[in-house]
Structure 1
């Protein structure tokens, strides 16, 4: 059933030049590639101290000056850079997000989304829609984890992109959900430790356990020590499909369930349920898909999951059903200012 909001939006769209609008949307592939090239060349870093001409930037990046100008001109029409007189370009607030090593940096993600190997997978979306199977295996003949193990340099870029994304959303997540009453928190598949380190720094009396595959956990140890929280954070290696550590007052699953089909997700949830006490909380950080017709990055994240593996983003109802099957009840769902939301659940 069409809502009043949907009808109003449709009427507004009808006032536009619809063929032109659709052409602009279809041209999004070029937008992705132009952002990728600018990120790969490090243009934002070169402009952080002030405007430069496209000729100067071309010399610094060893590319063709006229071609670079055409690229920067196109990006300026999207507000990523701003073109002034004599082909001078400067950063905009949006373009600043392409800088390296700043809070909220999206440079690594922009590179991932434009890399040829990822681009090949995106070009096989039709295969996934037709078959319901991930396009990655169809293109490369193996699952993403096996492929990345054979290409460590690409795995490193992906890891850095995920860490940068995590860092960018942590403030919004911590502002949305109060963790201060928790004595001991377990970060299941905590990766490098970016999230749990920030949680522990924000809560000086809290203790934590970072749990992940042994090689990942070993790498996290160095990061946790560098963040000054090693005395309060135990590092444990293991497979969450087999077990999770006991003794936590709260268990975190951050962007884990969306990589899994329902069967695998249920296994992880049941393992959490088995070690949790009656007062423990399960805190899930995922992009919850909103109702039909509402714009949301979660709907596009979901297509990434379709392309890359067996995972999916889920609606609030789907999470409730999945958690109920594992013996949990959803207490509340908090929609945050970040692209990731919070689901709090307890044992039934």
Structure 2
């Protein structure tokens, strides 16, 4: 027998070195947010505040199938969300604490929003967006996102509650990063219930605020928490049609919902309405160059699948500002996943 015949042939690489296994794991990773949503909907974390509980007790408390609840929690525990002890009892972890409804910084509403059918179903049809350049949302729901949002109170509630939950940890950090004149009139464009403006007015006691959004949105505003009604006003309107007068225009997670033409209209209205030395401050993800992971690259696909918008690079913002008659002056970090892109009048 020759040496060639004695050769065992090619040796398979270790499983962890074979890219096919990594691809397999990635292809199934959508099951983690699926489990996260199921547990959030059931309110499991609310039933663990007193300490570890056997899964059978937990299942009775939340109205779930014991075995299947354990399987969902077991997967989440591999990501540090909940933990199972040797007796089969599940407990909260620091990562699971924000899933409690009564937690000071509860994130449950944000989880329910981000995994809602309005985001989940279009994401499953992402191929359509990649092929056609249009969102599959319209086909799946019969109308664009914000039309569906306006007609369905349930969707509107999920969205507003979820945005507040997601924004509350960010708003004080964004407000702290802003460099405002002491007597600035700050217009929060599309500011929802006013969480960001509330944080700005607390951080900058000399500023006055204007919360600008649609009438049905303003009904849920939170500015009364400031305790100084002389420092803020509510103005109802459509940011595609107008903007109220002011000095500083805040647009937090507004432009990323829209394509360049719609975003341009919003910026142009701000540019026309602002005082001669006014500024536009856009708080959005600024996508960095290169191949490193970045949250903005993930949210960008959410914008692709359910909206017509996108996350932008600094160059994208520069071009958009220029078209709106603005000049990009700087990009401010905020200690969050957002940056503040500042623009002033170009002429």
Name 1:212's counterpart in structure 2.
213
1: distance between equivalents of 2:224 and 2:112? 29
Partner residue in 2 for 1:234: 233
Q: Match for residue 201 of structure 2?
A: 200
Counterpart pick for 2:263 among 262, 265, 268:
265
Answer whether contact 2:188 2:211 (CA < 8 A) is retained: yes
Larger radius of gyration: 2
How far apart are residue 182 of structure 1 and its match?
4.7
2:248 maps to which residue? 250
Paired residues for 1:179-194 under 5 Å: 179=180, 181-194=182-195
For structure 1, list consecutive stretches of 5 or more residues without a partner in the other structure. 1-13
Do the aligned residues in 2 keep the contact of 1:217 with 1:237 (CA within 8 Å)? yes
| Residue pair 1:182, 1:250 contacting (<8 A) in 2 also | no
Give the Cα separation in 1 of the matches to 2:118 and 2:310: 21
SS of corresponding position for 1:37: helix
Measure, in 2, the Cα distance between the counterparts of 1:307 and 1:149.
19
Q: Relative to total residues, which structure has the larger helix share, 1 or 2?
A: 1
Is the Cα–Cα contact under 8 Å of residues 32 and 113 in structure 1 kept in the other structure?
Answer: no
Which deviations, in whole Å up to 9, do the C-alpha atoms of 1:237-260 show, x marking residues without a partner?
1112221111x2211111111111
1:80 and 2:74 correspond: no
**Large movers: runs of 4+ above 3 Å:** 14-17, 101-104, 113-118, 178-182
Correspondence for 1:319? 317
Match of 1:38 in 2: 39
**1:335 Cα offset (Å):** 2.9
Most deviating of 36-45 and 20-29: 20-29
CA distance in 2, matches of 1:218, 1:111: 22
User: What is the aligned-residue RMSD (CA, Å)?
Assistant: 1.9
Aligned to 1:49: 50
Take 1:309 and 1:118, find their aligned partners in 2: how far apart are those partners? Answer: 9
The residue aligned with 1:140 is: 141
- In the TM superposition, residue 183 of structure 1 has moved relative to its aligned partner by 2.4
Residue 54 of structure 1: how far off its partner (Å): 0.9
In structure 1, how many angstroms separate the alpha carbons of the residues matched to 2:287 and 2:122? 23
Q: Which moved more, 1:130-139 or 1:146-155?
A: 146-155
2-side partners of 1:235 and 1:116: how far apart?
32
Contact 1:288 1:313 in 2 (8 A): yes
Q: Which secondary structure state, in structure 2, belongs to the residue aligned with residue 291 of structure 1?
A: coil
Q: Deviations over 1:133-174 (max 9, x none)?
A: 111002122111222333311221111000111112113213
CA distance in 2, matches of 1:253, 1:61: 39
- The correspondence for 1:310, drawn from 308, 324, 328, is 308
- Contact 2:176 2:200 (C-alpha < 8 Å) held by counterparts: no
Alpha-carbon distance, 1:292 to partner? 2.5
CA apart distance, 1:203: 2.2
Q: Distance in 1 between matches of 2:298 and 2:46?
A: 28
Alignment partner, residue 341 of structure 1: 339
* CA distance in 1: counterparts of 2:315 and 2:224, whole angstroms: 40
Question: Structure 1 297/204 Cα, relative in aligned 2: closer, same or farther at 3 Å?
Answer: same
Contact 1:148 1:155 in 2 (8 A): yes
Aligned to 2:68: 67
CA contact (8 A) 1:105 1:165 kept: no
SS in 2 for 1:186: strand
2:292 alignment partner in structure 1 = 294
When structure 1 is superposed on structure 2, of 26-35 and 115-124 the one drifting more is 115-124
**TM-score between both structures, scaled by the size of structure 1:** 0.90
Structure 1 stretch 45-54 or stretch 281-290: which is displaced more? 45-54
Q: Check 1:327–1:136 CA distance in 2 against 1; reply closer, same or farther (3 A cut).
A: same
| Aligned residue in 2 for 1:10 | none
The aligned length equals: 332
Residues 223-250 of structure 1 show CA distances to partners (whole Å, capped at 9, x for unaligned) of: 222442322101111112221111x221
Post-superposition Cα deviations, 1:305-332, rounded to whole Å, max 9, x if no partner, equal: 1111221111000001100111111111
Give the 3-state SS of the residue equivalent to 2:90 in structure 1: strand
TM-superposed CA distance for 1:87, in Å, is 0.7
Q: Which residue of structure 1 aligns with residue 125 of structure 2?
A: 124
Local SS of the residue matching 2:251: strand
Distance 2:332 2:48 in 1: 38
Partner residue, 2:109? 108
Q: Distance in 1 between matches of 2:271 and 2:144?
A: 29
